[in-house]
Amino acid sequence: MTMNNNSKVVLVTGCAKGGIGYEYCKAFAESNCRVFASDIEKMSNDHFSLDNIETLQLDVSSNNSVESAVGAIVSKHGRIDIVVNNAGIGNSGPLVELPIDMIRKAYEINVLGHLRLIQQVVPYMVDQRKGTIVNVGSVVGTVPTPWAGSYCATKAAIHAISDTLRVELKPFGIDVVLVVPGAIKSNFGRNNAKMLEKYDNEWKIYEGFRNVISERANASQGGKATDASVLARYVANKVLSPRPPKVIRFGHMTGLFSLLSWSPIWVRDLFFSTRFGLNKKI
């Protein structure tokens, strides 16, 4: 694939194989971008088959790691045109029984990890008076669900951060795009279910709800879930357009959640309490 000085330099976080970030990297690379695929684990360059994807280790929860990764890219290419804040972890379970350390870790990665990278990259984008920041939210950032309250809260924070940054960065020619995926088939949902297994035996108040809690952890991986590669190509095309949209909603169940976001609170409560086994007193 031919690369030139006009090729966009793209940094994507959370790129473990089998995840959505991995597909974002391939989608941008197929659009003739120079892509830096980063993950907390060390990856080799043969992780990807395309020669315009380079890998680097980046822990979004570490200031030094983020500064080092951004510095290495800028030193090599002189700029970063697009950042895709995709790194994140899930955590399922009743909010009143989730370990605080687990909730804190989700905020550290899902929220502060985004901001940490943004704060390192924005000064370079300000100097060049252009750039695009892509933050990955979720349909549950607008309409939270039972048994995933901590994760929903982190995504709601990303929505608020994106809305703020979009206005604050406009004078410098920097676009901010909020991606709102629906149910996407990837390793993220499977890893979420595995993480739940570590805490499944700790529920005391909600011991009788283990089955529906587990069902919620796997909810995004149903047979109708959108393939991660389809989402990634759609997002890459939109982000690389001359005027990127402010919000990209895509994937299975986005229509349902849009409807629920406009519904009265009692309708939403009734829907979720019925769907997740909370419609009767114990």
Domain boundaries, the chain: 9-254
Asked if residue 25 lies in contact with residue 48, where contact means CB atoms within 8 angstroms, the answer is yes
pLDDT digits 0-9 by tens, 28-48: 999 999 999 999 877 766 678
Q: State how far the Cα of 7 lies from the Cα of 125, in Å rounded to an integer.
A: 16
**Location of structure tokens 């940094």:** 11
| Confidence at 2, pLDDT banded by 50, 70, 90 | very low
**SS3 call for 159:** helix
**pTM here?**
0.93
Catalytic residue among 24, 124, 151, 206: 151
The CA-CA-CA angle for residues 126, 138, 144, to 5°, reads 130
Question: Candidates 3.90.1150.10, 3.40.47.10, 3.90.1530.10, 3.40.50.720; correct CATH number of 9-254?
Answer: 3.40.50.720
Asked if residue 155 lies in contact with residue 113, where contact means CB atoms within 8 angstroms, the answer is no
| 45 vs 56: which has the higher pLDDT | 56
151 catalytically annotated:
yes
| Confidence at 156, pLDDT banded by 50, 70, 90 | very high
pLDDT digits 0-9 by tens, 195-245: 666 665 678 999 888 888 888 877 767 778 999 999 999 999 999 999 999
Q: Above pLDDT 90, what percent of the chain?
A: 75
Q: What is the pLDDT of residue 5?
A: 60
In our burial notation (b when 16+ CB lie closer than 10 A, e otherwise), range 191-220 reads bbbebbeebeeebeebeebeebbbbbbebb
